[in-house]
Amino acid sequence: MPIDVLGDAAFGPHRFRDPALLAQALTHRSAGTPHNERLEFLGDALLGLFAAEALYVCWPKADEGVLTRARAELVRESSLATLARGFELGARLTLGPGEMKSGGHRRDSILSDALEAVVGAIYLDAGFEACRDVVRPWFGPLIEALHPAKVGKDAKTRLQEWLQARQAPLPQYELAWEGGEDHAKAFRVRCTLSQPPLSAEGEGGSRRAAEQQAAEAVLAQLDA
Catalytic (active-site) positions: 44, 116
Binding site for Mg(2+): residue ranges?
40, 113, 116
Per-residue burial over 50-79, b if 16 or more Cβ lie within 10 Å, else e, is bbbebbeeebeebeeebbebbbebbbbbbb
Decide if 192 contacts 172 (C-beta within 8 A).
yes
Decide if 108 contacts 81 (C-beta within 8 A).
yes
Taking the chain, what is the end-to-end CA distance rounded to the nearest angstrom? 26
- HEC string of 42-62 equals HHHHHHHHHHHHHHHHHCCCC
Note the residue count of the chain: 224
